Amino acid sequence: MRSSELHLGGWGNYPTYTSDVYRPERWQDVIAVVNEADASGLIARGLGRSYGDAALNQDGGILLGTRLNRLLDFDSHAGIVECEAGVVLGDLITLFLPRGWFLPVTPGTQYVTLGGAIAADVHGKNHHCDGSLASFVVDFQLVTGRGEILTCSREENRDAFWATVGGMGLTGVILTARLRLRRVPTSYIMVDYLRAQDLDEVLGHMDTSDARYQYSVAWIDTVARGGALGRSVLIRGNHADVDQLSPAQARNPLTIAAKFKVSLPFHVPAFVINPRTVGVFNNAYYAKHPARQGVTCDYESFFYPLDSVLNWNRVYGKRGFIQYQVVMEPDSQHRGLIALLEELSKQPQASFLSVLKAFGAGSDGLLSFPKPGYTLALDIPNSGPESIDLVRSLNRIALRHGGRVYLAKDAYLDPHTFSEMYPQSERFKEIKQTLDPDQHFSSSLARRVGLVENS
Amino acid sequence: MNGKVLITGPTSGIGRAVAHRLAAAGHNLILAGRDREETERIVTDLRVRYDATISSKHYEALAFESHREFLDSCCAGGELNGLVMCHGYMVEQTLTENDFRAAATTIDVNYKSYVSLLNDAARYFKQRRNGFICVVSSVAGDRGRQSNYTYGSAKAALTTYTQGLRNRLAPYGVSVITVKPGFVDTGMTWGLLKPQSLLVASPERVAVDIVRAIERRKDVIYTPWFWRWVMMVIRLIPEGVFKKLKL
């Protein structure tokens, strides 16, 4: 199959590499590309929304799955959709929300493919109730390194299932999947806002009242320090019923009215985002969100606020940004989180759009990120070596407190830290070896963290 | 619109995009592809997405003698209102220069198979005195360039054939639309074009133009629109100058 030499990066614009990119239109092309993969390896890629090098393959091959985006079946009784892995989550919403079905789990953008979402075992604002995407994946078909199509579920090829869910594409190419959707009465969310003055207060609210909400997340001010360390705005909600809507909304309760989207035509100069502007932004955000109950919010504004700016990653300029997400084990005194926030607030770099959330139970995915505890996600503008030093020191703090970093957002973990954070990685490697004995699947991330030996 | 629309090459980038567009507009479709499994996947995709009646037929472009029977079977379960032909074949130009089989396949798929099916289709639509025939040709047929002239010559022949066919069927109320896409980001061109280039259009964008041309009963369209002017300039260059250019 013909390939195209393309220079690609992740959503964080760092790092970027040139690769031979294949874009199959047919299943037989997928198998041919897998069989022909050489020592430099192959990795599947969708819309490139992972931030670091998960969907990059320096000097290797990339299988772009975006054309394999066909729907193969919909069971309108059980709400189970079967489709190819290149289907975009946003397409599932526009297709099925008007029929009363919504994604069971959604990450912060709708512009991800289903295959990528399974490979990263994505989570959403409902993790504390529903777990990660894996909970709703009925089964999938995987093209293994042997060029075979393997059906994987909790019953059939169980090991392959739990290695592939969260497995960052390293067990093979997901060809199709069946996903259980969620019945919803409307396309609106009833949202409650609550302000918390410090970390103890926000975590206290999460512990006592998150169970009342299907969706819960807190915006957290990582610039605030001292007594205000961890001040937050809790944003929590449930799917609205028709009788909770205004008469105008209730006329078309499942509307997917497309919102106006803008595109940033160029990278914003780096100086625009600095600790002072972020401090101003954070103060304004905090002030703008007093406690309010029962605000109806359309699904796009609630789940995908950033999608309204199509390439919002350009806000950080050409040098890009480092997206950092960590989950910390629960601890009565929150020592890990406090150490992280103190480290962040004393650094000159600034992060806005930082998010704090309580996770529920983890999945059985060997490399799945979520586990019980609190997750903190933030953007750090890439200002060179000091930003990377900051990430490394955050990683050290995380490791000391039983924390773990999200691979879909990482670009800096080293093999030692990785294997400490992901204790099941050895088991993962054994299963990968049986599915892909000739190491056809590899990525820049896999080599960096030692999941695949450098050849 | 009444009747069904028959699409050849539904697994091609443009063919699939046109099928989506027509199904979304409520047309019932017959998808005629060579690869049965892949054609069937597109059928189910359209069925799940749109409330339209979609079926598939096996179509072998190079089995010329089977075309009449194939067309008869397509008309069997109800009238055909239109035919959209999108199947195609393109390899690197140098391959067609060094291996005659590649050149012959280029001509057979992109020209001879069209003539074969269009002869039968013309008879059908002429008798029916209604309907449309939409043929996807290419800007490559507007002038022979060293980078793509084997493919271009087959498309030039196809363009000329559809001109004559349009002339012949005009009195019978049958419209014949010649579509000339420029660079389109499809499986056929992957690796041959730079997909990020501003000149390269998505198949979905091209399909919007094609369906609009069918609805408005256009004769010849370029898609995206600017190719009309690009090709006008390219055609105006004197041959003495043109032969020295690297296009």
Query: Helices marked H in A194-274 — which ranges?
Result: 199-209, 247-250
Q: What is the DSSP string of A359-390?
A: E----S-TT----SEEEEEEEEE--SHHHHHH
pLDDT of residue A202: 96
B17, closest residue in chain A (CA to CA): A67
pLDDT of residue A391: 93
Chain-chain contact of B48 with A71 (C-beta, under 8 angstroms): yes
- Average confidence (pLDDT) over A415-441: 97
User: How far is Cα A192 from Cα A216, in angstroms, rounded to an integer?
Assistant: 10
Residues of chain A with Cβ-Cβ distance to B42 below 8 Å are 70
SS3 A308: helix
pLDDT of residue B114: 98
Residues of chain A with Cβ-Cβ distance to B45 below 8 Å are 70-72
Q: Which of A362, A442, A431 is nearest to A161 (CA)?
A: A431
pLDDT of residue B2: 59
Is residue A313 over pLDDT 80?
A: no
Residues of chain A with Cβ-Cβ distance to B41 below 8 Å are 70, 72, 84
Distances (CA, A) of B137 to B35, B89, B181, B217, B234: 22, 12, 7, 17, 17
Is residue A282 over pLDDT 60?
A: yes
pLDDT of residue A271: 65
Residues of chain A with Cβ-Cβ distance to B44 below 8 Å are 70-73
- Average confidence (pLDDT) over B186-192: 93
- If you average pLDDT over each of A112-126, A338-352, A387-401, which comes out highest? A112-126
Mean pLDDT of chain A: 92
pTM, 2 dp: 0.95
A235-268 pLDDT tens trace:
999 999 999 999 999 999 999 976 666 676 666 6
Residues of chain B with Cβ-Cβ distance to A25 below 8 Å are 11, 13, 38, 187
Report residue A270's pLDDT band, with 50, 70 and 90 as the boundaries.
Answer: low
Residue contacts between A and B (CB atoms, under 8 Å)? 42
B11-54 pLDDT tens trace:
999 999 999 999 999 999 999 999 999 999 999 999 999 988 99
Domains (range + CATH), chain A:
188-412 (3.40.462)
More confident residue, A380 or B140: B140
Chain-chain contact of B191 with A6 (C-beta, under 8 angstroms): no
Tell me if chain A has a CB within 8 Å of the CB of B192: yes
Q: How far apart are the first and last CA of chain A?
A: 24
User: How far is Cα B41 from Cα B19, in angstroms, rounded to an integer?
Assistant: 13
- Average confidence (pLDDT) over A105-123: 97
Strands A71-75 and A42-45: unpaired
pLDDT of residue A39: 76
> What residues of chain A have any CB closer than 8 angstroms to a CB in chain B?
2-4, 6, 23-27, 67, 70-74, 81, 84, 95
Dihedral over Cα of A184, A69, A363, A371: its sign: negative
* Contact status, residue A73 vs residue B43, Cβ threshold 8 Å: no
Domains (range + CATH), chain B:
4-242 (3.40.50.720)
pLDDT of residue A286: 80
* Tokens standing for residue A74: 């919909």
pLDDT of residue A273: 65
